Amino acid sequence: MRKFWAFWCSVYAMLGIFFSVAIADAWNEEQLPADPATMYVITDSNVNVRLNPYVEFMEGEENAEWPWDLPDSGWQTNSDYMSSCSVFPEMADKTYWYHVTIANRSADERNLVLSVNNIFVKYLSVYVIGPNGALSRVWHTGLKSGARKIFPSAGYSFPINFLDFKDGKTELYIRVKSDQDYRLDLRLQDLRSFSHHDAEEKIVNAVITGFMLLVSIFSLIMFFLLREKRYLAYNLFAMGILANLLITGSYSSLFLSFLNHLDIARLYTCFCFVTLWGIQLISLEYLSNAKWVVLKYISRTFGLFFVCSAVVVWFCPGYFASILFFFGTAVMFLLTLVWVLYAVMKRNSAHLIYSLAQLAFLFGCIFPYVCTYGMLGWSKYAIYDFFLISISAAIMISASLIYRFYKEKNYNRNVTLKAKMSRRQFVNFFSLTNEGMFKADVDGRILNINPALCRVLGYRNVSEISRSGKTNIKHLCADEDSQKIYGNSVSKLIQKYDSSNREKGDGSVLLLEGSIDNIKLRFVSSEGCVIHVSMSIRLSEENNDSFSIIGDVKDISGDENLKKQIHYMEYHDQNTGAFNRKYMIGLLESIFNDAGDGGDKDAESG
């Protein structure tokens, strides 16, 4: 009970630290002006500012190709939403224009970087106009640009040089085309700060990408080797995260050049559904011991839903794919809450850790979509979401693998303990039973003989039998007939096992139940006397996949002597020992029968 509550306290402490850091960062965010301004003034040597409150925006003007084609009126200022947010956007591309004025009041020459961060903007142009009103630089990203990244400094990045515009004003115009009402986050940084920040993110992104790549390769290899579905689930989960990291992370420009004819937004959503499918399959492993059959069927149904949704996103509008993703994630969130409740009821710490990590991961997955629709500012929370997704994914995979390893280790340990206990019980029974028992290989070579059988044969122990040269069961037989009977019985038992394997594919039933009983043999004792025995034999599988013969031997010499005594009393007088009347009648009948048979033969020959 103490461990259980200690675990809960640790979880709450970790969550408290995480949210405390997030709140502290939000509290220390640069103070924005109460009323949105239209110009940002550079006053110091270190620049790292979010430009959203200084930006004017205009929706429409699809035909305008240059800043001077725009009307003077129609500009709006809003520090929260850079564009309108509609739940069901139009299918056609929309055009948004953004304008910000930057004045350099610092004495330094400025080499700055403008970062325009968004997930799925389709087309972006940046125009730089100097103090004299002339267009100095222009950038066009193209319809299938490789800059659609979801991390803070991994969006569109444009160098802005203030070398020629000291103490002057520089105007930036940004044109965005998209089929949905996305929100942009604009940030201005000095080159050194941006490079340092970008390098840190690339290192972290490389570590997470490498980890997911190793997990996916390992899971795929283990799936082909062991044919266990759980490794396929790990592979789907890791591959979904890995694919989205490659197409939206810090290294996306290296991979998106091969995907010029694909819709990256649809590809991202497709892999999100693949990731959710992997989560659902991994979760089913934890439901394997649960008695809630209805929950299992619900989980499998939504597994099929995720597979179908991963295909449907390529043929449906983008907003409909987002709605499917919201719905699927919400259902998985509710199912995960049920698994948390189940883990608490069962006091299973491993299941609880996994379920809490899954809740955090689902929250992290849905966060980019919430920001995409303008409900939250992305640049402010992206780094926390990145670490939340990465850490929770690592915890999920680690907890699942470690728990499965722990479970299999306990299972193997229990099996080993039961096997040792069974072997100990068998050894005790083998040594203490009053019935004779032996263990031999299929060729008859003696492996062990218990004390009871040694006494039947007139020996003190099995070593004495070995010293006498009797190392095979056939050496104990008194005649060749007994040797043949024993050999045929062993062959018949092995044939039964082979036929059981061919018909049912499993010979273990025969190992447990199959035997050949009531085998009558004649053994020879240490004194040379013949001992009549009744034997039962069965197969036993050894550790090296070979077989041995376990035999039960019962001395029935007393029964044979009793039969002989009864036969003697039947044909002899009890007082004199002479043959009695029954014997004489039987003898005469035998003589007459022989005489009759001889006369018939003579008549036939005559």
Most confident of 3-17, 64-78, 82-96: 64-78
Task: Average the pLDDT over each of 295-304, 415-424, 557-566 and give the range with the smallest value.
Answer: 557-566
CATH of the domain at 277: 1.20.1070
pLDDT at residue 144 in the model: 38
Mark 577-596 as b/e (b = at least 16 C-beta within 10 Å): eeeeeeeeeeeeeeeeeeee
Quick count: other Cβ atoms within 10 Å of Cβ 376?
A: 16
Question: What's the mean per-residue pLDDT of the chain?
Answer: 73
pLDDT at residue 409 in the model: 76
Residue 15 has pLDDT above 60, yes or no: no
Number of domains making up the chain: 4
pLDDT confidence bin for 510, thresholds 50/70/90: very low
In a domain, 422, yes or no: no
Task: Average the pLDDT over each of 61-65, 136-140, 282-286, 582-586 and give the range with the smallest value.
Answer: 582-586
Q: Are 530 and 524 in contact (CB under 8 A)?
A: yes
523: which 2 tokens?
A: 């053994």
State the number of CA atoms in the 13 A half-sphere of 469 facing the CB: 0
Please indicate, yes or no, whether residues 226 and 374 belong to a single structural domain of this protein. Answer: yes
Please indicate, yes or no, whether residues 277 and 301 belong to a single structural domain of this protein. Answer: yes
Please indicate, yes or no, whether residues 503 and 365 belong to a single structural domain of this protein. Answer: no
> Is pLDDT larger for residue 125 or for residue 588?
125
Where does a domain end: 196, 225, 252?
196
Percent of the chain with pLDDT over 90: 0
pLDDT confidence bin for 572, thresholds 50/70/90: low
Residue 170 has pLDDT above 60, yes or no: yes
Q: What is the largest CA-CA distance in the chain?
A: 153
In a domain, 8, yes or no: yes
Please indicate, yes or no, whether residues 547 and 445 belong to a single structural domain of this protein. Answer: yes
3-state secondary structure of 281: helix
Please indicate, yes or no, whether residues 457 and 349 belong to a single structural domain of this protein. Answer: no
- The dihedrals phi and psi of 366, each to the nearest 5 degrees, come to -80, -15
> Is pLDDT larger for residue 490 or for residue 364?
490
The arithmetic mean of pLDDT across residues 432-452, rounded, is: 86
Q: What CA–CA distance (Å, rounded) separates 430 from 424? A: 10
pLDDT digits (tens, 9 = 90+) for 465-484: 888 888 888 888 888 888 89
pLDDT at residue 166 in the model: 52
pLDDT at residue 30 in the model: 44
In a domain, 180, yes or no: yes
Residue 227 has pLDDT above 60, yes or no: yes
pLDDT at residue 56 in the model: 86
Please indicate, yes or no, whether residues 68 and 139 belong to a single structural domain of this protein. Answer: yes
Please indicate, yes or no, whether residues 51 and 172 belong to a single structural domain of this protein. Answer: yes
Task: Average the pLDDT over each of 423-432, 436-445, 526-535 and give the range with the smallest value.
Answer: 423-432
In a domain, 31, yes or no: no
Where does a domain end: 379, 411, 443?
411
Task: Average the pLDDT over each of 160-174, 393-407, 552-566, 589-603 and give the range with the smallest value.
Answer: 589-603
CATH of the domain at 495: 3.30.450.20
The arithmetic mean of pLDDT across residues 177-196, rounded, is: 72
pLDDT digits (tens, 9 = 90+) for 291-343: 666 767 777 788 888 889 888 888 887 667 778 888 888 888 888 888 788 77
> Is pLDDT larger for residue 141 or for residue 354?
354
> Is pLDDT larger for residue 184 or for residue 552?
552
Query: Quick one: which of 11, 21, 17 has its CA closest to 399?
Result: 11
pLDDT at residue 145 in the model: 37
Where does a domain end: 196, 214, 246?
196
Query: Quick one: which of 262, 255, 237 has its CA closest to 365?
Result: 237
CATH of the domain at 149: 2.60.40.2380
pLDDT at residue 370 in the model: 62
Q: What CA–CA distance (Å, rounded) separates 258 from 256? A: 5
In a domain, 567, yes or no: no
In a domain, 430, yes or no: no
> Is pLDDT larger for residue 74 or for residue 511?
74
pLDDT at residue 152 in the model: 36
Q: Are 159 and 170 in contact (CB under 8 A)?
A: no
Task: Average the pLDDT over each of 146-160, 321-335, 445-459 and give the range with the smallest value.
Answer: 146-160
In a domain, 59, yes or no: yes
The arithmetic mean of pLDDT across residues 99-105, rounded, is: 83
pLDDT digits (tens, 9 = 90+) for 37-56: 677 777 777 787 878 788 88
Task: Average the pLDDT over each of 23-27, 457-461, 556-560 and give the range with the smallest value.
Answer: 23-27
pLDDT at residue 151 in the model: 38
Q: What CA–CA distance (Å, rounded) separates 160 from 26? A: 27
In the DSSP assignment, the letter for residue 524 is E
> What pTM was estimated for this model as a whole?
0.58
Please indicate, yes or no, whether residues 179 and 217 belong to a single structural domain of this protein. Answer: no
Q: 328 lies in which domain range?
A: 2-26+205-411
Please indicate, yes or no, whether residues 53 and 168 belong to a single structural domain of this protein. Answer: yes
Please indicate, yes or no, whether residues 302 and 344 belong to a single structural domain of this protein. Answer: yes
Please indicate, yes or no, whether residues 506 and 402 belong to a single structural domain of this protein. Answer: no
Q: What CA–CA distance (Å, rounded) separates 340 from 335? A: 9
Task: Average the pLDDT over each of 156-170, 193-207, 326-340, 406-420 and give the range with the smallest value.
Answer: 156-170
pLDDT confidence bin for 109, thresholds 50/70/90: low
pLDDT at residue 34 in the model: 46
pLDDT digits (tens, 9 = 90+) for 112-131: 778 776 656 667 888 888 77
Please indicate, yes or no, whether residues 89 and 129 belong to a single structural domain of this protein. Answer: yes
Residue located via tokens 């003697």: 568
In a domain, 416, yes or no: no
pLDDT at residue 26 in the model: 44
pLDDT at residue 306 in the model: 87
Percent of the chain with pLDDT over 70: 65
Polymer length in residues for the chain: 606
Helix (H), strand (E) at residue 124: strand 123-129
pLDDT digits (tens, 9 = 90+) for 202-216: 777 788 788 888 888
Helix (H), strand (E) at residue 63: none
The arithmetic mean of pLDDT across residues 161-181, rounded, is: 70
